[in-house]
Amino acid sequence: MREGFKTVLEFLESNMDVEDEEEHLCNQYESESNDSKVRRLFYNLARAARGHKDAIKKIIISIESDDHTVGHYCSICGWAVDFGKSPSVGNEERCSLCCQKFALLETDGDYVLKTLPQ
């Protein structure tokens, strides 16, 4: 597992389980229905779940292969603070909007920002 993304990866993997179950149930309901409109509805819902799983899988692969940008929102102005794709704990960046300085730290497997003095 890539450092700094523990909670994000847990959430994404849990979401994959939900989408798997949704796809399975929708396929089941589609096959059991006698109404063509209801079958079409469940077909489309199952298809959407497959799309969600594909998108989530791409994000997980991106994170695990260190190809995912590490970013947080500035606690002062809300602008994105970008630490790039392969930052190290302790790296420092400034918010490009308000110039507040932050350090990237890791707590319990997750990246967190520490506000630094100007």
Helix or strand (DSSP H, E) at 76: none
Residue type, 63: I
What are the extents of the domains in the chain?
Answer: 6-64, 71-115
Question: Which pLDDT score, from 0 to 100, does residue 33 have?
Answer: 96
Over the stretch 25-66, which tens digit does the pLDDT of each residue have?
999 999 999 999 999 999 999 999 999 999 999 999 999 998
Q: Which of 1, 2, 8 is nearest to 89 (CA)?
A: 2
Quickly state the pLDDT bin for 70 (edges 50, 70, 90): very high
Quickly state the pLDDT bin for 110 (edges 50, 70, 90): very high
Q: What are the E-state strand segments in 1-118? A: 71-73, 80-82, 92-94, 101-107, 110-115
pLDDT exceeds cutoff 60 at 111: yes
